[in-house]
Amino acid sequence: MPANYQAVHFGPAAQVFEPSDIYLGQVAGSLELPHAGTTTVLGHAHGDFSDEALDAALNATMDSGIRTFFASAIHDLSFVNGYSIEDQEPKYSRLSTQAIGQVDNSPQLLDRYGVLNTSIPAVLSHASFISAVDMQLLRETKQYISTTPESEFHYSLLHAHERHTQDQTSPGVDRHFTFSCNMVGQAHLWLQTLRADSFNSTLEDDLKIPYTNPMSVGQAFLLIRRNGALALRRPDLGIIAEGAKADLVVFDGSSPNLLGWDDPFIAVTLHSNVVDISDVFVNGKFVKRDGKLTYSGYAAVRQDFLRSARKIQSPWEEMEFVSQRTNPLEFGITPYSQPRQHYVQAGPGTGY
């Protein structure tokens, strides 16, 4: 990544976020997970600007009570604050990787380095433009993709081929400062998007009327529960069975939007909200009880977080963002273009 792009857009984060800010942001974001019914998270931590920042993020995640697999990002920040790969090496204990189109860290490359065919899970973030060869490699080595539906639509990464890799896919949320950590919402979005895509293919391409539903609600539920556990090589998670971990989520079936439910998969995936989650257990311990988090320090975290947020927001409010009409990352040959914009009010305008 070019030094000038790093310095302008990534640099302020490394300069403004102190370890205490990272701790507060991470603990608040981590608490959002059990509040929304998530018991386990694989954290691909990008805010590791220094050893101190990395420790703050890890400690915050652990303090929240969530079951976590913490994977720090490996990125050269020499041009930002002098934090080089060599400086980071002593901290490495796990490898996290992203596989976005055009970036040379695909499953084929990882396989050549012997990363895939091991007992350690290697979860690929996004993998929006994964090739057929890479798909087959993931199946052979039983490694998974973490797709983040909302952020990938938001950032135009899309899902060119992931409908074909759902047996090796588990949804995520990307980043809690931009998107909701409600995994049920992500499953809902993913389900209806794939349904729409399949319906569109039948209606528009084949000029026929579909007479079946292309994806069941139960499959979407499995993506956010069982597939997440299998991606981490943890068959004792995401399941209620003897010998499994006591990670449980209890929904209030008497709430207005769940009242009269019959199929639990449909009730949770299509009708539930965070407010319906009464209790959450992680490893047999309450992390949410009677609709409220059990984290004892939340009042102090909330107060400190609001002060931290005001301090952090100021530099970006004052920053002048220029239009990226050319590729700032300097890879690939595909030209940039302005997408069609949508406006919901009468008359000319863009809404921006």
- State the pLDDT at residue 231: 95
CATH number of the domain enclosing 224: 3.20.20.140
Residue 23 lies in a domain: no
Take residue 140 and report the two structure tokens written for it: 């052979």
Number of domains in the chain: 1
- Confirm if 246 and 287 have CB atoms less than 8 A apart: no
- State the pLDDT at residue 101: 46
- Confirm if 34 and 66 have CB atoms less than 8 A apart: yes
b/e burial code for range 76-88 (CB count within 10 A of at least 16 → b): ebebbbebeeeeb
Distance CA 158, CA 151 (A): 9
Residue 198 lies in a domain: yes
Residue 229 lies in a domain: yes
pLDDT at 295 over 80: yes
Q: What is the mean pLDDT of residues 29-44?
A: 94
Residue 165 lies in a domain: yes
Residue 249 lies in a domain: no
pLDDT tens, position by position, 207-260: 999 999 999 999 999 999 999 999 999 999 999 999 999 999 999 999 999 999
Residue 170 lies in a domain: yes
Residue 165: domain span: 103-234
Take residue 136 and report the two structure tokens written for it: 């087959």
pTM of the model: 0.86
The sheet with strand 277-282 has its strands ordered as: 248-251, 277-282, 285-289, 292-293
pLDDT at 328 over 80: no
pLDDT tens, position by position, 132-154: 899 999 999 999 999 888 888 88
Beta bridge partners of 170: 146
Most distant CA pair in the chain: distance in Å? 62
Residue 139 lies in a domain: yes
Take residue 199 and report the two structure tokens written for it: 């319906």
Element of type H or E holding 264: helix 264-266
Residue 325 lies in a domain: no
**Three-state DSSP class for 207?**
coil
DSSP string, 316-339: HHHPPPPP--S-TT----PPP-PP
- Residues sharing a CB contact under 8 Å with residue 194, sequence separation 6 or more, in sequence order: 163, 214, 215
